[in-house]
Amino acid sequence: MSPQVEAGATTLAGDAQPGVVTRAKARLTSLGEMARMTGQVFSRAVRPPFNGSALVYHIESLGVRSMPITLLTAMFAGLVISLQFGYFLARFGVQYTVGRVVVLTLFRELSPVLTALTVGARLGSGMAAELGAMTVTEQVDAIRALGADPLRKLVVPRVLASLVVMPVLTVFADVVGLVSGAVVVKVQYAISFDQFFQGALDSVLMGDFVSGVFKGGVFGLLIGLVGCYKGLTVEGGTEGVGRATTQTVAITSVAVCLADFFITKVTLYL
Amino acid sequence: MSFVRHHEKRAPGFEFHRPYPGEQLIHFEHLRKAFGAKRVYDDLELDVRAGETLVVLGGSGTGKSVLLRCLIGLQRPDAGRVLFQGADVTAFTEEQFMEVRRHVAMVFQGAALFDSLSVGENVAYPLLEHFPDMPPDEVRQRVAQKLELVSLPGTEHLMPADLSGGMKKRVGLARAIATDPEVILWDEPTTGLDPVTTQSINAMINSMKTKLGCTSIVVTHDLVSAFEVGDRMAMLADRRIVQVGTPDAFRRSTVPEVRAFLDARRAELVADGGTR
């Protein structure tokens, strides 16, 4: 079967009650298909014709509209970890180091992961729902029948947009989290902004910042690929679309946590 | 109206030539297809001749639409061959299918219009794909001409959500014929439409043959439409084509599957009070 067919085909019911082996096989097949789709997306992304306007549209649609939830999440994350660290560091009389701890926690871990879990769920499920609806109404088949390539038209701009948007949102989350943290420790523990930010700047390295941004990019890629794959392989009408969106949220959450562990492991030794 | 021939995106390996009337254009040969445990075709054989309207009849779930989808590569058979002008398309790559799809257009059951594009953009879509360097003025002109052909002039600005079911089908047809295809595949063209709209769609199928000289394959279980548009009919049952012939031959058929289908549909029409 061609990858195109795999991406857009609607299959009829197979076994009524699939066993464990059948389900395991189906999962492995899905993984293989997704890996192949990833390769196809990259090969199309680097070969003309490029669809710049679709990319800009999706960056605007995914990025700008995700900004409020990103900033809100980052603000509360900054507030909470600053409160917590301030409280526990005060026990040892070193509460003035709170800026150092907060910046590392935010830059390396909390900003990329929280952004991916909150915004990623929104982006991935949105893609799955949109492409799923197009699949069940035969619009994806129509794209192919009219001589176009659904991967190039639908998947490449979404995946690239997600890849671009997530690191940018991560940087915004870093800044907002840090500023909100500075505010709360000033109010709660009377630590000045100067002291907070000086501590933060002294301890943070460029590698800490880059590793968080890199994580954002990887998470964006995962979110885009899972959302598009689940959308293009929807089966079972509108019920299937609902199933695909919830599965996308679950899969992207697990994938983000898994990827986070391995990227952290690698970047700590770089 | 004639249009300047623009540079086309061509895939290697397949060259279409204009067929002469009555020539064997498409041949489904020993086709086998299954979805999981459900076998759809077992050794299916069917010919389509240039210039004719072939109606494929059959009950729901017998795989009528799959036949159309196999021809343009939206699905692949498990075994057997689909020959288009002698070329075995089952072995084609997605790139090679692009050339087939320029000559074979499909009108989908639910029209499959792109929700986010206007009517005009929908009709222009295949033109921009197949003729990327066509000037915008000519694209607009051709879109207007195709919409006029399906009796929807001046509707370019409307969105699919603003259209009725019958209008959507007609826009779907305008989009399908935008590149002047030689073959049109009709997937359940009259399903879910009222009798008046059904009549207009039937008239449109006939006019595609007379005005544009298109070959049509119509998949349907609507007998009234089938007898109105079909030059030949084929009955799909028990995973194979059980009879192929003229509408008259079908009326007189003694093949049990055909008889059962015709009688059941006739009883349905009587039960409906002859409203259709």
* pLDDT for B102: 86
| Chain centre to alpha carbon of residue B24 | 17
Q: What pLDDT band is residue A219 in, cutting at 50, 70 and 90?
A: very high
Q: Look at residue B12 and tell me if it is in a domain.
A: no
* Chain segment B3-15, per-residue pLDDT in tens: 344 444 444 567 7
Query: pLDDT of A134-185, one tens digit each?
Result: 999 999 999 999 988 899 999 999 999 999 999 999 999 999 999 999 999 8
Confidence category of residue A107, pLDDT binned at 50, 70, 90: very high
Tell me whether residue B4 is in a domain: no
* Chain B residue with the nearest C-alpha to that of A3: B94
Rounded-to-integer distance, Cα A43 and Cα B114, Å: 26
pLDDT tens figures, A76-89: 999 999 999 988 88
- Minimal CA separation from B158 to chain A, in Å: 18
pLDDT bin (cut points 50, 70, 90) of residue B37 is confident
Looking at the domain assignment, is residue B14 inside a domain? no
Average pLDDT over residues B41-54: 92
- Predicted pLDDT at B125: 93
- Look at residue A23 in the predicted model and tell me its pLDDT: 83
Q: Which pLDDT score is estimated for B273?
A: 59
Residues 206-235 of B with CB under 8 A from A: none
ipTM here: 0.85
**Tokens representing B240?**
């194979």
Q: For residue B116, tell me if it sits in a domain.
A: yes
Of the pLDDT bands very low, low, confident and very high (cuts 50, 70, 90), residue B272 is low
At residue A270 the predicted structure's pLDDT band, cuts being 50, 70 and 90, is low
Percent share of chain B, pLDDT over 70:
92
Which one is predicted more confidently, A15 or B17?
Answer: B17
Nearest to A142 among B38, B98, B108 (CB): B108
| CATH code, B219 | 3.40.50.300
Q: Which of A108-112, B94-98, B188-192 is modeled with the greatest confidence?
A: A108-112
Interface of B with A in 152-181 (CB under 8 A): 175, 179
pLDDT greater than 90 at residue B201: no
Interface contacts A/B by beta carbons within 8 Å: 77
Contact partners, residue A165, CB within 8 Å, separation at least 6: A59, A62, A63, A66, A123, A220
Q: Decide if B276 is inside a domain.
A: no
Contact state of A137 with B114 under an 8 Å Cβ cutoff: no
Average pLDDT over residues A15-31: 79
Q: Which residues pair with B81 in a beta bridge?
A: B29
pLDDT tens for B100-111 read 888 999 999 888
CB contact under 8 A, B112 and A139: yes
Cβ contacts of B126 on chain A, cutoff 8 Å = 146-147
Q: Any CB–CB contact under 8 A between A20 and chain B?
A: no
> Is the full-model pTM beyond 0.95?
no
- Report yes or no on B78 lying in a domain: yes
Determine the pLDDT at residue B5: 43
Q: CA of B216: how far to CAs of A25, B26, B101, B233, in Å? A: 41, 11, 14, 12
Domain of B236? Answer: 24-271
User: Sorting pLDDT into bands at 50, 70 and 90, what band is B192?
Assistant: confident
B136: in domain: yes
Is A53 near chain B, with CB under 8 Å? no
pLDDT at B256 over 50: yes
Which candidate from A14, A134, A141 shows the least CB-CB separation from B74? A141
Interchain contact A149–B (C-beta under 8 A): yes
H helices within chain A, ranges in order?
Answer: 3-8, 20-45, 52-63, 67-91, 98-105, 111-136, 139-145, 150, 156-189, 193-203, 206-232, 237-268
Across the interface, do B113 and A139 touch by the CB < 8 Å criterion? yes
Q: Total structural domains in chain B? A: 1
Q: Is the pLDDT of residue A6 over 80?
A: no
In a domain, B257, yes or no: yes
Average pLDDT along chain B: 87
Closest to B129 (Cβ–Cβ): which among A2, A12, A147? A147
The answer on pLDDT for B157 being more than 60 is yes
Residue B1 has pLDDT above 80, yes or no: no
Is any Cβ of chain B less than 8 angstroms from the Cβ of A146?
A: yes
Position A229 scores a pLDDT of: 95
pLDDT digits (tens, 9 = 90+) for B131-148: 888 999 999 999 999 999
DSSP class per residue in A78-142: HHHHHHHHHHHHHHTT-GGGHHHHHHHHIIIIIHHHHHHHHHHHHHHHHHHHHHHHHHHTTHHHH
